[in-house]
Amino acid sequence: MSEPLAEEGRGADLPAPADDAEADRLLREGEIDLEGRLLDASNVTLFGVVRTADLAAECVYKPVAGERPLWDFPDGTLAGREVSAFLVSEATGWRIVPPTVLREGPFGPGMVQLWVDGDESVDLPAFVRRDVPALRRMAVFDAVVNNADRKGGHIIPTPAGHVYGVDHGICFSIEPKLRTLLWRWAGTPLPDDAVEALERLGDQLRGELGDQLHEHLTRREVRCTQQRVAELLRTRVHPQPSGDWPALPWPPF
């Protein structure tokens, strides 16, 4: 690990998870103590601390019951899409999405994700326009998962230098819906490391990863994900806006 997965849980004298296995165990088995709600979120988004006997960390909990109905995504599926984005992120090896699970919570089943503290000294509007390798990888990731809402506020550069992405509830549509601030590389060749990651991802989508995604997505949604990876490998360039869908999210931050 290049950095701790989380700071120590607020109000707890327990260590934060030191690796992915500990983070997964904490998120799945820990008791969730809610502290508040993020009022600017479109869906019910609660935050608090998750604890086991030996670990603690801050977390975000999005109950399925709090998901706002959308015209273009089936009801009650956003939490599963968040978990699916995490699974794809892990398969690339880029660790874009913080550890995320689907589990029972205080208000029923929902997505529980490790909270990540961003670097408050970073000027996000300027940062998202920079030619940063981590942002370029995120642009490729968003093309794979068909992210319809990559706002600037969903990009979290950390003090240690890693860049996370959050809020992936409206991904994996069968229709082209890529909407992002990360168009800087549109039409340019994919870097070699992205091609290598996509080749690995394509193999995994035909195996265990595909089976895992079928627990949260329809077979057609998984098949379309495979097709997006295949198309990126065929063209070996970053996609460009289609013209059939707004290219930028609104509001952008």
Q: How many CB atoms lie within 10 A of CB 11?
A: 12
Is residue 42 a contact partner of residue 26, using CB atoms and an 8 Å limit? no
**Token pair listed for 57:** 């960390």
Query: Mind listing the pLDDT tens digit for each residue in 164-189?
Result: 999 999 999 999 999 999 999 999 99
Confidence of residue 5 (pLDDT cuts 50, 70, 90): low
Is residue 81 a contact partner of residue 100, using CB atoms and an 8 Å limit? no
Q: What are phi and psi of 125, to 5 degrees?
A: -55, -35
The answer to which of 7-11, 21-25, 126-130, 216-220 has the lowest mean pLDDT is 7-11
For residues 207 and 87, give the distance between their C-alpha atoms in angstroms, rounded to a whole number. Answer: 13
For residues 244 and 247, give the distance between their C-alpha atoms in angstroms, rounded to a whole number. Answer: 9
**Token pair listed for 78:** 């956003």
Confidence of residue 11 (pLDDT cuts 50, 70, 90): very low
Is residue 12 a contact partner of residue 59, using CB atoms and an 8 Å limit? no
For residues 189 and 208, give the distance between their C-alpha atoms in angstroms, rounded to a whole number. Answer: 29
Q: Where are the alpha helices (H) located in the chain, listed in sequence order?
A: 20-29, 78-92, 124-127, 133-145, 192-205, 208-213, 219-235
pLDDT of the residue at 1: 35
Confidence of residue 13 (pLDDT cuts 50, 70, 90): confident
Q: How many CB atoms lie within 10 A of CB 167?
A: 24
